[in-house]
Amino acid sequence: MKEPTGWFAAGRSFRQALTLLSDGAFKLFAYICLEADRRTGRFETTQRELAQALGKSRRIIASYVAQLSDKGICRVRPGANQFARTLFEVADEYWPYERHVPDSSAAKTETYVQAVRETFLSIACGPGKFTVSDARTASHMQADGVPLSVVQDAILLGACRKYVSWLNGGSAEPIGSLAYFEAIVAELRQQRLPADYREHLRAQSARYGARWKLARAGNGTAQGGCPDMGSTEIVR
């Protein structure tokens, strides 16, 4: 055999997918199968990366992804935003390998870290990436018993404080890592935010994030505060 590695056990189910999908969607399915972890049948990527790999537009890729989901060939868990990664899991009837089922504690940690990553990547003042070190920080938070909602609130609150500081003449350097929020996590463990306050923070973070992106793109600079949200409202 000229190439002993990189093979996929394509059998009857693979042929069946060929009859159910359009040519483009089947090509995407084949690509996912080749890239997926053999132990789990899972593959994480972004639509931008898929578009580059297959030479298609993101709009076309989105239509292929919809086919995989609608036909029950892959379970698809989309990212929370354009920066977050989408998780593909090939359905059992189309996956020819024995799956390694992680223990429940490992699965819970994975879910926790994934949710933290999506929130972290949603803020415009972050680095735009979630590193191995960030994943380790999130895992430690989960092991320490920090509720997921507290971490998510801390990220949103910290981002809003960063924006307010920046608009008042503070540093425009992006937040470097998840560790930046550890002190705020500790603060919120002592005094939780009201349950209905998260959506307010999310809206304000998105609003200020748009101004942050505009300024960093060189299309203008934002000066001063915002008339309907003073720093005391966010900084507490």
Domain boundaries, the chain: 12-94, 104-235
Section 30-47 average pLDDT? 90
Q: What is the pLDDT of residue 220?
A: 44
Tracing tokens 């990527």 back to the chain, one arrives at 45
The proportion of the chain whose per-residue pLDDT surpasses 90, expressed as a percent, equals 56
**pLDDT (tens digit per residue) in 171-218:** 889 999 999 999 999 999 988 888 778 888 889 999 999 999 988 887
pTM: 0.53
- One-letter-per-residue 3-state SS of 99-137: CCCCCHHHHHHHHHHHHHHHHHHHCCCCCCCCCHHHHHH
Backbone φ/ψ region at 84: left (φ over 0), alpha (ψ -120 to 50), beta: beta
Asked whether the beta carbons of 178 and 138 are under 8 A apart, the reply is: yes
User: How many other C-beta atoms can be found within 10 angstroms of the C-beta atom of residue 104?
Assistant: 8
Helix/strand/coil percentages in the chain, nearest 5: 55, 5, 35
CATH number for the domain formed by residue range(s) 12-94 = 1.10.10.10
Nearest-angstrom CA–CA distance, 30 and 18? 10
Q: What is the pLDDT of residue 225?
A: 43
